[in-house]
């Protein structure tokens, strides 16, 4: 078992696993963006190389079963544990992922998975922020290269913009010592680095 930050599979193997269950490009974009922001956060916190890989892997794999559960949302994250266990991930990694489903009415099976750890808040805040950055980029003609955090903040505060995105979850980043301002800067920079892979410019 892997009880430290060592990952049982490589990034290319993880991507292959993701693609086995997910074919929609928009879903893949969300996973890549979540991965990028998680890596950006881990780097910001000064974590070591293994931890940066670990945080990124959580972002990449957090919705691994989405492609086969979205038709029946109540089952989201019920297939994930077995998929990841088979790939060699330990319970801790899986628990981190389960916590991002906490608080969703559609997922009563996760009502006891309150987020308590830094890495759990980071994952939820990151995967939620991807939606806001991506929607804002699309509104700007796909451009993320010259996006600034002030513009993103306006979209964050405008509750009518991308209204389904839960601002409270993004704000969980404050529980782990970052301001929204810092978080937005890290996220925009992270997504800029992978813009071509996620259909942005």
Q: Which residues bind Fe ion (CB under 5 A)?
A: 63, 127
Q: C-beta of 124: minimal distance to Fe ion in Å?
A: 9
> Of 17, 169, 23, 130, which is closest to residue 79 (Cα–Cα)?
17
Give SS3 for 45: coil
Residue 60, number of CB atoms within 10 A of its CB: 22
Mapping DSSP to helix (H, G, I), strand (E, B) and coil, where does residue 5 land?
coil
Which structure tokens are listed for 191?
């997504």
DSSP 165: S
What is the nearest approach in angstroms of Fe ion to the Cβ of residue 47?
Answer: 22
Tell me how far, at minimum, the Cβ of 192 lies from Fe ion, in Å.
Answer: 20
Sign of CA dihedral 66, 51, 112, 78: positive
Of 123 and 188, which CB lies nearer to Fe ion in the complex structure? Answer: 123
Report, in Å, the least distance between residue 97 CB and Fe ion: 10
Closer residue to Fe ion, CB minimum distance, 49 or 164: 164
Q: What contacts 70, CB < 8 A, 6 or more positions away?
A: 76
On whether the CB atoms of residues 133 and 152 are closer than 8 A, the answer is: yes
Q: Which is nearer to Fe ion, 27 or 43 (CB)?
A: 27
Element (H, E) at 185: helix 180-193
Report the residue number whose CB is nearest to Fe ion: 127
With tokens 């890549």, the residue in question is 32
C-beta closer to Fe ion: residue 53 or 63: 63
**Beta carbon of residue 198, minimum distance to Fe ion (angstroms, whole number):** 14
Minimum CB–partner distance for residue 61 and Fe ion (Å): 10
Nearer residue to Fe ion within complex by CB, 3 or 23 = 23
Distance CA 14, CA 133 (A): 24
């Amino acid at each position: 078992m892997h009880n430290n930050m060592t990952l049982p599979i490589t990034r290319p193997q993880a991507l292959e696993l993701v693609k086995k269950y997910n074919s929609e490009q928009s879903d893949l974009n969300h996973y890549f963006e979540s991965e990028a922001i998680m890596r950006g956060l881990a780097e910001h916190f000064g974590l070591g190389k293994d931890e940066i890989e670990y945080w990124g892997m959580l972002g990449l794999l957090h919705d691994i079963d989405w492609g086969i559960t979205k038709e029946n949302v109540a089952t989201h994250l019920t297939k994930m544990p077995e998929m990841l266990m088979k790939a060699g991930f330990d319970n801790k990694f899986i628990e981190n992922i389960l916590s991002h489903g906490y608080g969703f009415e559609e997922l009563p099976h996760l009502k006891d998975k309150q987020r308590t750890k830094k890495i759990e808040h980071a994952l939820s805040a990151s995967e939620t922020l991807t939606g806001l950055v991506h929607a804002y980029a699309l509104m700007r003609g796909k451009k993320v290269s010259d996006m600034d955090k002030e513009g993103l903040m306006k979209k964050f505060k405008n509750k009518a913009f991308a209204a389904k995105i839960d601002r409270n979850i993004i704000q969980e980043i404050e529980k782990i010592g970052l301001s929204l301002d810092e978080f937005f800067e890290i996220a925009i920079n992270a997504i800029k680095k992978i813009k071509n892979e996620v259909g942005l410019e």
